[in-house]
Amino acid sequence: MLFASHATLEAVDFGITHHNLSDGGRELDPMAKALCESGTAGQLVFFGGRMAGVVAISYFLHKTGHHKLERAFPLYASGDSAYGVAYSFAHR
């Protein structure tokens, strides 16, 4: 459930970011700026990479026995994505 909710938020964040950038908006996240402003392919790489990173870090935490952090990290990442979605919708 944690990964499914995070993937959903990432997909919505991708969609609204793509829409805003195609209408002349600009990316405020310095880590995302280089990829997201280069076009759709860069945006897919960035948002797909974020999702893959969350799964990889959670797996690493699981394998090292940090089971509470394993569940907490996707929650934190989902909160970050939810903030991005809310901010993007507010500044359309």
The residue type at 81: S
Sign of CA dihedral 79, 82, 88, 91: negative
Residue 80 belongs to domain spanning: 2-23+30-90
- Cβ contact 16:85 at 8 Å: yes
Query: pLDDT tens for residues 36-59?
Result: 988 899 999 999 999 999 999 999
Q: Say whether pTM exceeds 0.85.
A: yes
User: In this predicted structure, what is the pLDDT of residue 59?
Assistant: 97
The rounded distance, in Å, linking the Cα atoms of 90 and 36 is 19
pLDDT number for residue 40: 92
For 1-25, how does the pLDDT look when each residue is reduced to its tens digit (9 = 90+)? 999 999 999 999 999 999 999 998 8
Is residue 92 pLDDT above 90, yes or no? Answer: no
Tally of domains in the chain:
1
pLDDT at 10: 95
CB 14 within 8 A of CB 50: no
Which positions ≥6 away from 80 have C-beta within 8 Å?
none
The yes-or-no verdict on residue 61 having pLDDT over 90 is yes
